[in-house]
Amino acid sequence: MRTKPRRRGFTILELLIVIGILLAIGSLVAVNVLGASEKADLKLARAQLQAFESALEQFRVEMKRWPSEEEGLAVLWSKEALASDEDKARYGGPYLKEAKPKDAWGNPWVFRVPSTILEGQPFDIVSNGPDGQEGTEDDISNHDSRKEAGGDEFGEFSGSGSGSGTSGGSATGG
């Protein structure tokens, strides 16, 4: 009497199908995780900009002036960045709980006094963004929301009812 040989494993075709499915699922997860990471870095940079602006306002109220470009943002967490002993004695900080000399991508923050981005503003705080180069499209500044609000981006919400209903145009900020 002949017995049927028992099947003891998977065929190569079955293994290839399983590997293909796992690779497809893995690529979907990787794309979503990387996209979420980039969004999280942007949100972190914007939150840090808001924290800097708030801390700079506190500094201005106590010190009766804005920090100089030479003092930079370091005055928000250390009085050692102040130039004069009189300022050090009047210092009411730290204005931030911890030092944040670098943005979410590891680049140093750019602090300019007065603003060169938006006329009439006392200072600029700029993150050079993921590429680390100043003056590129991915830069993030404390004036981004002000520049956007001053443009024509919200024209279709003006209530005039004369909009075409399309949103193919783009605003030219700044």
Residue ranges and CATH numbers for the domains of the chain are 28-153 (3.30.700.10)
What is residue 112's three-state secondary structure?
Answer: strand
pLDDT at 169 over 70: no
Tell me if 141 sits within 8 A of 124, measured CB to CB. Answer: yes
Range in 39-43, 103-107, 122-126, 148-152 with the lowest mean pLDDT? 148-152
pLDDT at 64 over 60: yes
| Cα(147)–Cα(141) distance, integer angstroms | 10
Dihedral of the CA atoms 62, 65, 67, 68 (nearest 10)?
-160
| Cα(83)–Cα(79) distance, integer angstroms | 9
The model's pTM is: 0.63
| Cα(146)–Cα(121) distance, integer angstroms | 11
Give the model's pLDDT for residue 119. Answer: 85
Phi-psi map region of 14: left, alpha, beta (phi>0 left; psi -120 to 50 alpha): alpha
User: Which residue is listed with tokens 């929301």?
Assistant: 145
Give the model's pLDDT for residue 148. Answer: 58
| Cα(40)–Cα(65) distance, integer angstroms | 33
Give the model's pLDDT for residue 44. Answer: 85
